[in-house]
């Protein structure tokens, strides 16, 4: 059983590593990397590989890759390498983003949310407050008596948690807000 779990873990780990190129193929670094003299942590740094630099893969050894760049060879962590060339940046979007930093938030502007699954960008932009849906959600809450009896039957202990003090100068409102 123990050996099976170890094999399963190694398979999952191997599958979760990013796919890179085979020996002799080109790739790029996803971040700035130190090229080492040997494939081990603590080895001497012999040169630096800049982010998005195109290199040639010479060989792979476990989690390490020997690469060549600008006539130099060195070892880097394979995890930080990707095949092919880096994606090209859209200069117009980049300039617009920089200029947007100086502007104040526009009325009705939707901020992107990381980690929301199943909702498209268009759905986020079209979202509006719906009091009826909020009432439906609140109706699903368990009454305090039922929650207490469940907690007792499960032998849960209650803990008193104090609220954090309000930040200086902050106003707190329980009213829903809209950006319209």
pTM: 0.40
pLDDT tens digits for 90-134? 666 666 655 555 555 555 555 554 556 677 778 888 888 999 999
Domains of the chain: 21-83 (2.30.30.40)
Using CB atoms within 10 A of its CB, is residue 62 exposed (0-12), middle (13-18) or buried (19+)?
A: exposed
User: What pLDDT does 161 receive?
Assistant: 87
Q: Is the model's pLDDT at 65 over the cut of 80?
A: yes
Average pLDDT estimate for 5-11: 64
User: What pLDDT does 86 receive?
Assistant: 81
- Helix count (H) and strand count (E) of the chain? 5, 7
Q: What is the band of 19 on the pLDDT scale with cuts at 50, 70, 90?
A: very low
pLDDT tens digits for 141-156? 999 899 889 989 999 8
Beta carbons of 18 and 81 less than 8 angstroms apart: yes
Beta carbons of 20 and 81 less than 8 angstroms apart: yes
User: How far apart are alpha carbons 156 and 106 in whole angstroms?
Assistant: 47
Q: What is the band of 163 on the pLDDT scale with cuts at 50, 70, 90?
A: confident
């Amino acid at each position: 059983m123990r050996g099976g779990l170890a094999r399963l873990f190694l398979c999952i780990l191997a599958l979760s590593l990013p796919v890179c190129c085979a020996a002799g193929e080109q790739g790029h670094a996803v971040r700035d990397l130190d090229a080492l003299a040997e494939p081990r942590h603590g080895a001497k740094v012999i040169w630096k590989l800049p982010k998005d630099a195109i290199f040639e893969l010479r060989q792979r050894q476990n989690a390490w890759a020997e690469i060549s760049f600008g006539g130099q060879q060195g070892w880097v962590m394979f995890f930080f390498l990707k095949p092919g060339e880096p994606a090209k940046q859209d200069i117009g979007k980049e300039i617009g983003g920089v200029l947007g930093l100086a502007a104040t938030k526009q009325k009705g502007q939707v901020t992107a949310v990381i980690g929301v699954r199943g909702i498209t960008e268009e759905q986020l932009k079209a979202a509006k407050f719906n009091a009826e849906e909020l009432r439906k959600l609140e109706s699903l809450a368990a009454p305090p008596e039922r929650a207490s009896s469940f907690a007792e039957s499960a032998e849960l202990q209650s803990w008193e948690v104090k609220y954090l003090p309000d930040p200086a100068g902050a106003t707190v409102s329980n009213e829903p807000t809209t950006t319209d």
